[in-house]
Amino acid sequence: MNVGGGQRGRRKFVSEAQLDERRKKRQEEWEKVRKPEDPEEAPEEEYDPRSLFERLKEQKDKKQEEFEEQLKFSGFYIGEKM
């Protein structure tokens, strides 16, 4: 069964015109929030070569570690001994 027109898992081609349009929009947004001490040009977006799955997994793992740390300390304050 072919769901989604066969585009699943493929990267979408982005033309130079589309990139220019994105830069223009970012610059317009930057002008709205820019402070006098900030540079006039909008900072470039940071490129992260990892897949979305890898980035989301990293965030999930980080939140899980923070949660486990909170549990460790919450037991300490209740009076339980570790």
Q: pLDDT per residue over 17-75, tens digit each? A: 988 898 899 888 888 888 888 888 887 777 788 899 999 999 999 999 999 888 887 76
How far is 82 from 61, CA to CA, in rounded Å?
23
pLDDT value of residue 45: 75
pLDDT value of residue 34: 83
> In the chain, what are the domain boundaries?
13-46, 48-82
How far is 11 from 22, CA to CA, in rounded Å?
18
- Confidence class for position 16, pLDDT limits 50, 70, 90: confident
Quick one: DSSP state of residue 5?
T
- Answer whether 0.85 is exceeded by the pTM: no
pLDDT value of residue 43: 78
pLDDT value of residue 10: 61
